[in-house]
Each structure stands twice: as structure tokens, then as C-alpha cells.
Amino acid sequence: MKLTLVVNHLCNLRCTYCYTGAKVNRPMSEAVMRRAVDFAVERTSERWLLLAFFGGEPLLEPALMRSALAYARDRCIEKGLALHTAITTNGTLLDDERLELLRRHGFKVKLSLDGSAEAHDANRRFAGGQSSWADGARALERLLAAGVPTTVGAVLDPANAHLLGDSLDALVGLGARHVTFTPNVAGAWDAAARARLEAGLHALGERTIAHLRAGVDVRVDPLAGKIITHLDPQAAARAVCRFGVTELAVAPSGRLYPCDRLVGEDDDDGVCIGTLEAGLDAAKRDRLLPARREEAEGCRACEVKDRCKRFCGCANYETTGDTGTVSEVSCFFEQAFIDEADRVGNVLFAERNPLFLARFYPRAQVVRAAAAGSVALSGGAA
């Protein structure tokens, strides 16, 4: 089970697109943390517990993180579970002590950094209005230098969509080798913003191609994920989130949510699926499960429906107020991403780019035809 602890609603940034609501200082108590870990450890059907930290800004609460790690470790040993750890952070508070905490406990980090300074500061500023880019960029460099597996999470917004190519270059320049661009689906995506997005997406594809041609092995999502949905028609179905089933988020109050993205200000009874005290309301959770909904009429004839993430209950809820109803803006993004992914895939496969082949056809032997300087695919055991 993935258990996400929202350790505080407070954050030192004031990102314009933030979906977590008011930045109030409401930390999770030690008692709630312990009950949450107990709850997950007792319920998990897997042989592992993934303990994830979220906020607000979770690095505001290093003491609680430390005790959660120690407590979860003990409970996992008792139950014979493997403990895995993850955090989503803006990185601006990453001092030596916090870096060592993440390194020592084997964290996988998602660092929120929107790309170039211009793209980032369009939305992600400190509470006082100052730029936060340099602090985030420095955090990325330090995490990578310390060997902490780090994915950059960049938000794609109407204010920075035209800067996508520059943003990828900036992040690659800082050493990032996995970047995930996620759209702010609640943004004002009017016709002009969509045109900027499509141009930006094309630039992102071009820069992706250029980096791979130059031998820089960077994974850029959603392009990579969409390429995979073409390679393997079952891939998107496997990636459907575990929304309240094997994934659970706990607010500082002890209220339960199917995903960290739905906690917000912890005041929406529509998506709250129980409390640590009263337990999980499984019937309510099941009603919210987007994957169990009937396919929307507009999706039935769509030729890329099996490649899209219409099952993202959070994105659906954010845009339509219903976890099972896909919005027109989500549909626009999915189509745009798939189109650009296929363009990039077509180009890189046609030229037998070695990094492309190694990433997407990992069980194929890459045979270099020395004389022709070209590359062919041949089968081979992985």
C-alpha cells in the first residue's frame, strides 16, 4: 500500500496553481502519524509499504518525518513488509540535514521545479513574492550529486506553456534525467493558451529529440509514457491509479482520502473516505473509483481511449466535480500529448536512435551495423 502523510498544510511558497488550498500551519501530530502507519500496515495486501510525504511543504516537518520513518520501519519489520519511501517537495528547505535524511532512508524524490527561471517564476514564488527558482535548482543539483533518485515535476500552465522547450533544456542542464510535465488542468486554457501549448509541446518534442541525438539519456513525460501506451496496449490500464484501494492519503486531522491530490484544505466531505478513528468507508470509496464508472459516451469512439488517463479521478474531480467524468480540457491535453509523443517516436525510431531503442525496446538487442553506421533491432533475451 502507498500511504501518503500530509504532514502539514503549510508551505513556504505560494504557487498560483496550487490545489492544496490555504497554507495554514496545521501539522500532523505524532499520534495521528502512528495511527496512520498502523492503519496502513494492518490493511496492506502487498508485501511492502510505500510511505510518502506530502504537504504543504513536507520538509517543514523533518522531526515528524524522522519519527514516522522510525515507527514505520519497526512496524514493517514486525509484519515482514519492505518499506519504501517517497517525497514530493519544492526543495527550497533542503539543507545538509534534510538531504542526509532523504539519502539515508533511500527516498525517491519528486522535486517541483517548473523549468527555466522564467517558466518557474511565472507561478512558483515564495510567500513574500521572491523568486524560488535558484533554491529549487540548487536542490536539484544537490540531490543528484548525493545520488538521490530524483524526478523533476514541472507544472505546465497557460503562463509558461510557450517555454516548454527552454524549460527542458534548463532542467537537463541542471542534470535532470527524468522530467515530468503535468498540466494545470484547472488553468484558463482558452484558444490562445492552447495554441501556445501546442507550439510549446512541439518545441518540447524537438528538444527531446535533440537531447537523445546528442547522447543525453533523458526521459521526458508525458511523451515517454504515451510512447509506451503505443508499444504496449495494456500499459495505460496497468498505470491506473489505486485510488483509495492500495493508495491512501491521510490529512493532519486523521481524515482519509483516496489520493494526496484530493486532500486540499481537508474540508471536502465529497471525497473524504473515512477517518482513522472510524475506519475506511469502502462503499463510498467504491463509488468514487473512476475506473469502475461506465465509459463516457464521448470516449467510446475515440481511437486513443486506451492510451489516455481518463481514469485519473483527481484530474476529473478538479475539472468536472466528479471523479468519473472526464473534462474537455483533459481530453485536449491527452490528444495533444499523444500526437507529439508519436511524432517524437516516429522520428527517433526511423533513425534508430540508440537511446530510444534501449529505453523503449529494452529486450531487443541493439545491433550496430558497423559498415552502414545504422542500427537494427533484433530479438534477444533481456
Partner 1 sequence: MTTPSRRRRATYPTLVLAAVCSLGVGGAACGPLEAQAPDDPSTPPAKEQRQPIAPATAVDAGTSAPQPNDFFGGGAPYEAYPEDGGVP
The interface with partner 1 within residues 83-122 (CB under 8 A) comprises 84, 86, 88, 108, 110
Cβ burial of 297 (10 Å; 0-12, 13-18, 19+) is exposed
Q: Which stretch binds partner 1 (CB under 8 A): 66-74, 94-102, 208-216, 328-336?
A: 328-336
The β-bridge partners of 255 are 275
Candidates 178, 194, 202, 213: give the one binding partner 1 (CB under 8 A).
178
DSSP H or E stretch at residue 87: strand 82-89
Nearest distance from residue 359's CB to partner 1, in Å?
A: 9
Per-residue interface string for the shown chain with partner 1, residues 245-274, x marking contact by CB under 8 A:
-xx-----------x---------------
194 lines the binding site for partner 1 (CB under 8 A): no
DSSP lists the bridge partners of residue 110 as 88, 151
Taking CB under 8 A as the binding criterion, the range among 69-77, 188-196, 266-274, 343-351 that sits at the site for partner 1 is 343-351
CA distance 330 to 318: 10
- Is the CB of 138 or the CB of 359 nearer to partner 1? 359
Structural element, H or E, at residue 102: helix 96-104
Rounded distance between C-alpha atoms, residue 79 and residue 48, angstroms: 10
Count the site residues for partner 1 by CB under 8 A.
87
Burial 39-65 (b: 16+ CB within 10 A, else e): bbbeebeeeebbbbbbbbbbbbbbebb
Query: Rounded distance, CA 108 to CA 115, Å?
Result: 20
Residue with cell 496550487: 18
| 336 vs 379: CA distance, rounded Å | 32
The smaller minimum CB distance to partner 1, of residues 275 and 320, is found at 320
Per-residue cell: 85: 519511501
C-alpha to C-alpha distance for 191 and 332, rounded to whole angstroms = 11
The reply to whether 239 sits near partner 1 by the rule CB under 8 A is yes
Closest distance to partner 1 from the beta carbon of 205 (Å)? 11
Provide the 3-class DSSP secondary structure of residue 252. coil
CB of 377 to partner 1, least distance (A): 6
Q: Is residue 350 involved in binding partner 1 (CB under 8 A)?
A: yes
Which lies closer to partner 1 via its Cβ, residue 26 or residue 325? 325
| The dihedral formed by the CA atoms of 331, 333, 337 and 340, expressed in degrees to the nearest 10 | 100
Q: How far is the CB of 193 from partner 1 (least distance, A)?
A: 17
CB of 277 to partner 1, least distance (A): 27
Q: Which is nearer to partner 1, 14 or 219 (CB)?
A: 219
Which 113-172 residues touch partner 1, going by CB under 8 A?
149, 151, 153
77 binds partner 1 (CB under 8 A): no
Nearer to partner 1 among residue 191 and residue 370 (C-beta): 370
Distances (CA, A) of 209 to 22, 181, 199, 296, 357: 40, 16, 15, 35, 13
Task: Please state the closest distance from residue 225 (CB atom) to partner 1, in A.
Answer: 3
Site membership for partner 1, residue 370 (CB under 8 A): yes
Residue placing its CB nearer to partner 1 in the complex, 52 or 117? 52
If one asks whether residue 292 binds partner 1 (CB under 8 A), the answer comes out as no
Which positions from 199 through 228 interact with partner 1, judged by CB under 8 A?
A: 219, 221-222, 224-228
